[in-house]
Amino acid sequence: MNDLREPLVVTRDLDAARRAYEAGGHIAVEASRLAHSIKTNGGVNGMAVEQHEQSGGRLKGIVFGGLDGILTSFAIISGSVGASLSPVAMLALGVSNVLADALGMGAGEYLSSRSYNSYVRKEREREAWELQNYPAGEIAEMVELFVARGMSREDAEFVIQRMAKYKDFFVDLMMTEELSLPVPGDSDNLDSLKDGFTMFVAFTAFGMLPIIGFVVAGALVPSLTEGQLFLVACAITAVNLFGLGAFKATFHDKQYLRSGAETLLLGGVCAAIAYYVGRAVAGFAGINELFAAPLEAPLEPLL
C-alpha cells in the first residue's frame, strides 16, 4: 500500500501532458492521449513517477528569500541616500538590518513549519482515536463528503467501506479530505530546519548584493560620487530583481518576461518610497530643534 505522502505513480509523461493542456484545441487532445500512453524512464514496474512541485521546496525558498532580502536592503540604501546619510552609516544600517532580518526570517520559517507539523500530527492522533472508538461515525462522515462531491451514495459507501479496511491509509485520507491537512512525513522537522537555513542564506546573500555593489564600486573607483555609487547599486539590484522575478515564473504561469518586469517594477516602487520617506524624515529632523541639537556627551559603547 502506498503512503499518501509518496509521489503518485502514473502511466504518463507529465511534462508532455502539461504541454498538451497548455496548447489547447483538437491537437491538444491527441497530444494528451499520447502523453498518457508514454512510459518514461525511472518509473516503477514500467510506470512513471509523477514528481510534484512541493511548496516550500528549497528552490522556491531561495527565490522568495532572495527577493525579500534584495528588496529590504535596496530600500535601506534608497532611504539612506534620500536622508543624505554618510556611506559609513549606510553600510552599518544595511549590513545590520540584512543580517537581523535574515535571522528573523530563517527562524520564523523553521518555527512556523515545526509548529504546523506538530498541530497536524495532533489532529491525526485525534482522527485515529475517533476511527478506533467510533468507526461507523467516521465512515458515515466520509460517505457524506464523497456524496457531496458528486458520487452516488451506493458507490460512496462501497468505496469508503473498502478504504476503511486500511486504518493508517484511511486516517491519512480523512486528514486530507475532511481537514485539508496533508500529514507530514518523519523527516519534515529536518526539512523545516533546512527550509529555515535556506531562507537565512538566500536572504543574506541576495540582500548583501546592493550593499556590496555600493562598497566595492566605491573602493574600485574612489572618484565616484555618492549619487553615482547609488546608480551602481540600482543597476546591480535591477539585474538581480529581474532575474529572480523571471525565475519565479517557473513556479506558476511561465511568463518569464512579465514576471521579471513586475518584480523589477515592485523593487522600483519600494526604492522610490524609501527614498522620499528618507528625504522627508531628514527634512523634518533638520528643522526640529530636538533632532538638530548635538548630544551633550558621546554614547558609551555597550561592551
Contacts of 115 (CB under 8 A, 6+ apart): none
The grid cell for 107 is: 527562524
Q: Identify the three-state secondary structure at position 299.
A: coil
pLDDT at residue 156, as a whole number? 92
Name the strand (E) or helix (H) holding 20: helix 14-23
Q: Which of 290, 59, 19 is nearest to 194 (CA)?
A: 59
Gap between the Cα atoms of 83 and 111, Å rounded = 36
153-198 residue pLDDT tens: 999 999 999 999 999 999 998 888 888 888 887 777 788 888 889 9
Mean pLDDT of the 35-60 span: 51
Strand positions, DSSP E, the chain: 9-10, 48-49
Name the strand (E) or helix (H) holding 263: helix 256-287
Q: Of 71-80, 84-93, 125-134, 139-148, where does mean pLDDT reach its minimum?
A: 84-93
Gap between the Cα atoms of 228 and 54, Å rounded = 42
pLDDT at residue 9, as a whole number? 43
- Write the CA distances from 9 to 65, 147, 250, integer angstroms: 32, 26, 23
Say which residue the cell 509523477 belongs to.
Answer: 50
Gap between the Cα atoms of 36 and 31, Å rounded = 9
262-273 residue pLDDT tens: 989 988 898 899
Q: Compute CA 105 distance to the chain's CA centroid, rounded to the nearest angstrom.
A: 11
194-229 residue pLDDT tens: 888 998 999 999 999 888 887 778 777 888 887 788
185 Rama sector, left if φ>0, alpha if ψ -120 to 50, beta otherwise: beta
Gap between the Cα atoms of 16 and 35, Å rounded = 5
Gap between the Cα atoms of 253 and 246, Å rounded = 11
Helix axes 87-133, 58-82, angle to 10 degrees: 150
Beta bridge partners of 48: 10
For residue 56, is pLDDT > 80? no
pTM: 0.66
Ranges of each domain in the chain: 9-49, 58-118+188-283, 120-178
- Asked if 42 and 35 touch (Cβ cutoff 8 Å), the reply is no
